[in-house]
Amino acid sequence: MLVAMAVLGGAAWATWRLLSDPHSSAAQTVRDRGRAVLYECEACGAVGETRIPFAQSFPIACPDCGEVKAMTAFRCADCRKIIKAEQKQYYKCRH
């Protein structure tokens, strides 16, 4: 049991060191990939998933039409469709 915990702890430490070093190729690869986000475009109605840099904020350029009107979205837990996120206290899926 102690050996397994030591191995897991060592693996976690090695991963942390590798990704926290700003000059490591693994950390650069993660930064280059960016973060996966869901979007809904207010201009053309396109919905989907794309990757954007970690520092970028919404609205983003729509991958379909190119307009900078793609807003953050989420996936409905019931119907699994992508829905534009809105600032509401309670939100009911429109699907």
CB–CB of 47/39 below 8 Å? yes
Domain-wise residue ranges, the chain: 1-33, 34-95
* Confidence (pTM): 0.63
Q: What is the model's pLDDT at position 39?
A: 94
The pLDDT tens digits for 47-78 are 999 999 988 999 999 999 999 999 999 888 88
Q: What is the model's pLDDT at position 75?
A: 87
Pair of tokens at residue 58: 């919404």
The pLDDT tens digits for 86-95 are 777 666 676 6
Residue with token string 């939100």 = 91
Pair of tokens at residue 72: 């953050």
